[in-house]
Each structure stands twice: as C-alpha cells, then as structure tokens.
C-alpha cells in the first residue's frame, strides 16, 4: 500500500519545526543565566513549549501522509508520544544550563536526545494501530536514527553558542539556525516515514476504536496547541528578556551609586587617597597581620612645611592642586602593599606593612623627602615646599592605633623642631607637646 503527501502540510510541518527550533534557541538563553527557582520554572515551561512544538511538527507531517483507507490515531499513544517529546526537550534545555559544553556531554546529550526523538516518532506511528503492523526498512530506519542524533548534536551545539547573545545579529543567527534545525528535524521525520511499509489491505484499527481521533480533529488540536504555546512562550520570553535587561541596568546603576557612596565614605574627595575611616581599617588589618606573622609595621606622620604660606598667597585652588601633586608623589615613593592616607589639611599618614627592619622606614622617609623637595609646577607657578616626618613602629612604640598615631605625631613635631625637611623615629621620653613649633 503506497501513501501520498499533501505538499501544503509538508511545508507547514517544516515551518512549525523552524518555529519550535527558534523557540528552543530563545529559551536556551532564558534557562542559562537564571538561577534557583526561576531556572527550573523556565526549564519546565521551556520543555513543555519546545516539546509540544516538535510533537506538533511530527503529527502535522503525519497528517500530510495519506493512505487510501480511513485513518485515525490512538489517543493514549498520541499523548505518550507528546510526553516523550517534552521529556526530550527538558533534557536538551537541562544540558544548556551547564556553564561549559564538553565533547563528552555533547555526544551523550545528542545520543539521548536523538533516541528520544526517534521514540516519539515511532510511538506516534504506532498510534495508527495498523493491522498488519507497519514494517520498517532497516537501512532507512537506521538512517532516521542517525539523522536524529546528528540533528540533536547540531541543535545542542548551536543553542549553546547562541544562548546568551541578544544583539540584532544574534537574532538573525537564531533565525538562520532555526531554519537549519527545522530542516534536520523534518528530515528525520520524513526519513522515518519513508522507512515505513504498509502491507496491502492493511486497516487502521484506531479509525474504528473508541477514543480515536480523525485527521480533522487532530489538525485543529495541533494547530491551536502549536500557535498558542509557541507564540505565548516567545512573547513571555521577550518580556522576560526586557525585564532582565532593565533589572541588569538597574543593578548596574545601583552598583555605580554604591561605589560612589563607598568612595565618598572611605576616600578623600580631593586627592582620592584613603581617609581616616579607611585608614583605621587598614591599621587594624596591619596589626592583625603583624600579630599573626610576628612582624612589625611602621606608621609615618607626614606634615608639609611651608604649605600655609603657599595656600595664603595663591589661594585655595592652587593649594588644592599642590596637595593632589603631593599625594601623587607620595604614592610613587611607597611599595604596592603600603597605604597612603590623607589625615586632613596638609597632613598625610603612611602605613608601611610588614617591615623586617625599622631602617626600611628611614629609607622610604629619605625617598619622600627627596621627592617633595623638588619644585612643583602648578599652573604657571613653580612652588617649593618640604615636609617633616614622624615615625612610630608597631608593636615597639604602641599596642593600639591611637597610641601609634600620637607617638608618630610627637615624632613629627620633633622633626620640625630639628629644622624641618627631615624625619624622626619616636623615642620613649619624647615630650608629647612641642610648644613654639610652627606648622
């Protein structure tokens, strides 16, 4: 018994396969970036939508096939084939959730998906309940299985490559890929149909059984299910993508605002250096690390000499530019792991982390003195200043931040008293107050 095909339904089955493929590619992008509960919701919804799309293509293709006898389909087996299609689609989307797609995962996934599509197809064929049963040509049967596996492998690879791309070019790529995937799916279907041989005088038992569906009823059901589910899924996916884009933009804006607030709270507005609040945190970390590793660190109090006359003579704007230039030179004098902070006015504090020898602080102090003694060019002016540095060492000169700060400040005043443009280590017995020393 030889069957014929309705060309218009063949074209329609190809269009449905392409639409189902595009929906699958679009859903892969929704499943992959989602996390937690939303990811599973998209997975189940996507499996249902994609599965019914593939199943619809299959049965539209079967409706395109005509035999010269009354035909119908067993309802239970038809629904079973639909369930298989949904399970296969769920497995495909589950593979898409992986952060990477290895060769072994791709091969195993393609094999399972291909066998699942074949199971759906041949279960749907069994729903005709032909008597005598349908016989299949072995070479064409094997070819249909191979096509299903190869098509599944191509579909998984393409979906994985396009899953998180949302540009205009990505949409065109998805459309082209959906066409290729649609051709592959329909190719498997019609190869499987070509493998089927119907014995002359065969009858379709489902046509006479209770619960069988005629071609017209099946066509209406498939058409409505396909259009409603696939179109609805694409609309929901589009809204979700738009919402996700807005949420990402809002998250980025909040991140920017948080960074700005963090900078305001922790960094000096003028120089960009850590302020006292962040300095205290760095000092606490330095103390914890020093205690843990049985090492020392130095705290240096740097006060500019002759800054006030410059500020008074040329204005605050020039003074601010000079402070920024000083901050830059101080940063160039220290190691990457050290900290330079602005304490306020023309005062800076430097933390030298994990020093093996206190002489390191002296070497860096000399480097700073040399750097700040060079002329500064601010605007059209050449400005000359210097600095005085006081140094205290943890734990030798204090067991807490406040004591270290006070002792470094005392040492700095002694450096000023000694003639400025120099540095002094704190020594036990130094007077906590040095009257008559100008800033």
Look at residue 102 and tell me if it is in a domain. yes
Nearest to 94 by CA among 151, 34, 174: 34
Give the pLDDT of residue 348.
96
- Give CA–CA dist 53/241, Å, rounded: 21
How crowded is residue 419: how many other Cβ atoms within 10 Å of its Cβ? Answer: 9
Q: How far is CA 366 from CA 335, 354, 373, 386, in A?
A: 14, 19, 11, 12
> Do 412 and 324 reside in the same domain of the chain?
yes
Q: Convert 124-155 to b/e letters by CB count within 10 Å (16 or more is b).
A: bbbbbbbeeebebeeebbebbbebbbebbbeb
3-state DSSP assignment of residue 420: coil
384/59: higher pLDDT: 384
> Do 243 and 280 reside in the same domain of the chain?
no
Residue 210: pLDDT band (50, 70, 90) is: very low
State the total domains in the chain. 2
Give the pLDDT of residue 389.
96
Least confident range from 98-107, 132-141, 204-213, 342-351: namely: 204-213
With a cut of 90, say whether residue 31 has pLDDT above it: no
- Give CA–CA dist 355/79, Å, rounded: 76
- pTM of the predicted protein model: 0.49
Look at residue 165 and tell me if it is in a domain. yes
Tell me the per-residue pLDDT of 67-89, one tens digit each, with 9 for 90 and over. Answer: 888 877 788 888 898 888 888 87
Look at residue 173 and tell me if it is in a domain. yes
> Do 293 and 201 reside in the same domain of the chain?
no
**CATH number, domain with residue 378:** 3.30.70.270
Nearest to 156 by CA among 236, 98, 214: 98
How crowded is residue 194: how many other Cβ atoms within 10 Å of its Cβ? Answer: 14
- For residue 355, the 8-state DSSP code is E
CB contact at 8 A, 101 and 155: no
> Do 236 and 200 reside in the same domain of the chain?
yes
Q: In which domain, by residue range, is 230 found?
A: 4-252
> Do 82 and 155 reside in the same domain of the chain?
yes
Tell me the per-residue pLDDT of 283-296, one tens digit each, with 9 for 90 and over. Answer: 999 999 998 888 89
Specify the DSSP element, H or E, that contains 423: strand 423-425
């Amino acid at each position: 018994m030889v069957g014929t095909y309705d060309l218009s339904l063949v074209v329609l089955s190809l269009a449905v396969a392409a639409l189902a493929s595009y929906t699958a590619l679009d859903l892969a992008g929704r499943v992959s970036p989602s996390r937690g509960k939303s990811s599973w919701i998209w997975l189940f919804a996507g499996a249902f939508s994609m599965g019914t799309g593939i199943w619809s293509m299959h049965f539209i293709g079967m409706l395109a096939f005509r035999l010269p006898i009354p035909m119908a389909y067993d309802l239970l087996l038809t629904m079973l084939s639909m369930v298989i299609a949904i399970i296969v689609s769920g497995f495909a989307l589950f593979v898409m959730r992986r952060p990477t797609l290895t060769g072994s995962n791709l091969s195993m996934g393609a094999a399972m998906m291909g066998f699942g599509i074949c199971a759906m197809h041949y279960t749907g064929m069994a729903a005709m309940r032909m008597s005598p049963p349908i016989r299949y040509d072995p070479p064409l049967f094997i070819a249909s299985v191979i096509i299903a596996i190869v098509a599944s492998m191509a579909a998984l690879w393409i979906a994985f490559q396009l899953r998180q791309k949302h540009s205009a070019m990505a949409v065109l790529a998805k459309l082209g890929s959906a066409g290729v995937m649609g051709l592959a799916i329909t190719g498997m279907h019609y190869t499987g149909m070509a493998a089927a041989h119907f014995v002359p005088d065969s009858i379709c038992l489902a046509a006479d059984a209770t619960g069988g569906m005629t071609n017209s009823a099946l066509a209406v059901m498939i058409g409505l299910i396909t259009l409603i589910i696939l179109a609805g899924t694409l609309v929901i996916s589009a809204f979700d993508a738009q919402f996700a884009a807005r949420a990402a933009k809002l998250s980025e804006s909040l991140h920017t605002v948080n960074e700005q607030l963090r900078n305001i709270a922790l960094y000096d507005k003028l120089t960009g250096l850590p302020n006292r609040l962040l300095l205290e945190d760095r000092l606490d970390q330095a103390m914890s690390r020093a205690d843990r590793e049985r090492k020392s660190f130095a705290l240096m109090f740097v006060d500019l000499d002759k800054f006030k006359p410059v500020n008074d003579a040329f204005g605050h704007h020039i003074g601010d530019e000079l402070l920024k230039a000083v901050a830059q030179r101080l940063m160039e004098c220290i190691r990457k792991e050290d900290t330079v902070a602005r304490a306020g006015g023309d005062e800076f504090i430097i933390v030298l982390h994990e020093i093996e020898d206190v002489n390191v602080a002296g070497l860096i102090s000399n480097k700073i003195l040399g750097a700040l003694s060079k002329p500064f060019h601010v605007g059209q002016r050449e400005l000359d200043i210097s600095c005085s540095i006081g140094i205290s060492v943890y734990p030798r000169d204090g067991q807490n931040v406040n004591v270290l700060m006070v002792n470094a400040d005392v040492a700095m005043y002694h450096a000023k008293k000694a003639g400025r443009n120099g540095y002094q280590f704190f020594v036990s017995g130094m007077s906590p107050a040095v009257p008559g020393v100008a800033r």
